[in-house]
């Protein structure tokens, strides 16, 4: 056995990592089959450490809960599902596990924390059992957890947290997005949790009530994604910002924004952002702003915090 895989007590251990993601364009519409673009947030990541136990217990240690998995609160059920799904896929799985999660990804902020935890768990259990980590196997584990976390989802989060580069996602298909110049984004936390499942359900109801209007909005959100691809390729920051602004207006029409998100979007634009919008499910969660250039990102962060953002982060999408 590889000594690096054993704890001080000689028990087998495994480590798995994953990062957060932010949806740049196309959220909500993607549920109806249009494309979306997501970027990795490498600065917000998590580590899962699993250690074999001598008994048959499954024990969790995370910021939200420490104790037996059987007593875990409902919000951790996706995580427990991911553990069982990953164990079921391995042949040499231990019967008891300590699962320790050290995460910098805020929960329920549209940043993919549930998908990232599930990916980290799958990778950690794969590491412990020395089972080769097929990305499709990791994805299956993530989707088992995401179905519990969000109900029926497009699958975008699961792909986005596992990709190191920006992706275009449509109907389960993933392609990398070529980027012609570095793009610096500022992410601002509204401080409010957003329930993706509730927001997706609200859009579904709105579509049932006003089918042609909502389908028109969905179609345009998908069109914005397709238009943005050329802008990414050429690194056209002003044009990308304008598309983000338009996407935010359309998401507001879908009733998934709220007063805090609108205020932060307004503050970002007032502070010179090339564009700004809510990101992810909305109704709480985060705002994503595109800085006109990297040098202005710190000012943008300050202005967003002055406008009430509880936390801000910067991320740069490099040319690829
Ligand atoms: O709130 P998040 O970041 O998990 O994003 C959800 C994205 C939606 O398009 C609203 C739902 C989905 O399943 O794609």
Give per-residue pLDDT as tens, 156-179. Answer: 999 999 999 999 999 999 999 999
pLDDT at position 9 is 67
Residue 274: φ, ψ to 5°: -70, -25
pLDDT at position 194 is 87
pLDDT at 3 over 50: no
pLDDT at 216 over 80: yes
Angle at which helix 211-234 crosses helix 237-253, to 10 degrees, equals: 160
Question: Mutate which of 27, 78, 202, 203 to test ligand 1's pocket (most atoms within 8 Å of Cβ)?
Answer: 27
Å from CA of 197 to ligand 1 middle: 8
Which helix (H) or strand (E) is 306 found in, with range?
A: helix 297-306
pLDDT at position 92 is 63
- pLDDT, averaged across the chain: 92
Specify the ligand 1 atom closest to the Cα of 26.
9
- The pLDDT tens digits for 34-55 are 999 999 999 899 999 999 998 8
Percent of the chain at pLDDT > 70 equals 96
Instruction: Establish whether residue 196 lines the binding site of ligand 1, counting it when its CB lies within 6 angstroms of any ligand atom.
Output: yes
Query: What's the 3-state SS for 116-179?
Result: HHHHHHHHHHHHHCCCCCCHHHHHHHHHHHHHHHHCCCCCHHHHHCCCCCCEEEECCEEEECCC
Specify the ligand 1 atom closest to the Cα of 256.
10
Question: What is the pLDDT confidence band of residue 1, given thresholds at 50, 70 and 90?
Answer: very low
Specify the ligand 1 atom closest to the Cα of 157.
4
Å from CA of 315 to ligand 1 middle: 20
How far apart CA 117 and CA 62 sit, in angstroms, is 11
pLDDT at 93 over 70: no
Å from CA of 299 to ligand 1 middle: 29
Predicted model pTM: 0.90
Å from CA of 281 to ligand 1 middle: 5
How far apart CA 45 and CA 47 sit, in angstroms, is 7
Instruction: Establish whether residue 131 lines the binding site of ligand 1, counting it when its CB lies within 6 angstroms of any ligand atom.
Output: no
Among protein residues, the one with the nearest Cα to ligand 1's atom 5 is 280
The residue among 53 and 309 whose pLDDT is bigger is 309
Å from CA of 199 to ligand 1 middle: 9
pLDDT at 132 over 80: no
Instruction: Establish whether residue 157 lines the binding site of ligand 1, counting it when its CB lies within 6 angstroms of any ligand atom.
Output: yes
- The pLDDT tens digits for 269-298 are 999 999 999 999 999 999 999 999 999 999
Å from CA of 39 to ligand 1 middle: 13
Q: Looking only at Cα atoms, what is the longest distance across the chain?
A: 63
Q: Give the residue among 57, 52, 56, 60 at the shortest CA–CA distance from 9.
A: 52
């Amino acid at each position: 056995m590889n000594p690096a895989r054993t704890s001080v007590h000689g028990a087998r251990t495994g480590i798995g990592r994953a990062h957060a993601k932010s949806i740049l364009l196309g959220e909500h519409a993607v549920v109806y089959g249009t494309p979306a673009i997501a970027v990795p947030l490498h600065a917000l990541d998590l580590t899962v450490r699993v250690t074999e136990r001598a008994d048959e217990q499954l024990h969790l240690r995370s910021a939200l809960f420490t104790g037996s998995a059987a007593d875990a609160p409902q919000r951790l059920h996706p995580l427990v599902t991911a553990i069982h799904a990953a164990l079921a896929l391995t042949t040499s799985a231990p019967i008891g596990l300590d699962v320790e999660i050290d995460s910098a990804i805020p929960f329920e902020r549209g940043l993919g924390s549930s998908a990232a935890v599930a990916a980290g768990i799958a990778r950690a259990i794969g590491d412990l059992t020395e089972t080769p980590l097929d990305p499709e196997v990791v994805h299956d584990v993530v989707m088992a957890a995401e179905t519990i976390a969000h109900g029926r989802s497009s699958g975008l989060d699961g792909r986005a947290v596992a990709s190191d580069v920006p992706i275009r996602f449509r109907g389960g298909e993933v392609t990398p997005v070529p980027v012609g110049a570095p793009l610096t984004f500022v992410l601002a936390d509204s401080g409010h949790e957003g329930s993706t499942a509730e927001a997706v359900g609200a859009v579904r109801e709105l579509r049932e009530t006003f089918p042609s209007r909502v389908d028109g909005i969905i179609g345009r959100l998908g069109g914005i994604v397709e238009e943005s691809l050329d802008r990414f390729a050429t690194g056209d920051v002003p044009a990308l910002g304008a598309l983000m602004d338009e996407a935010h207006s359309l998401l507001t029409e879908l009733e998934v924004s709220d007063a805090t998100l609108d205020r932060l979007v307004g503050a970002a634009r007032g502070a010179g952002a090339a564009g700004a919008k809510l990101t992810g499910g909305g109704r709480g969660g985060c705002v994503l702003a595109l800085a006109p250039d990297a040098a202005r990102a710190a000012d943008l962060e300050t202005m967003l915090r002055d406008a009430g953002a509880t936390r801000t982060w910067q991320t740069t999408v490099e040319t690829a």
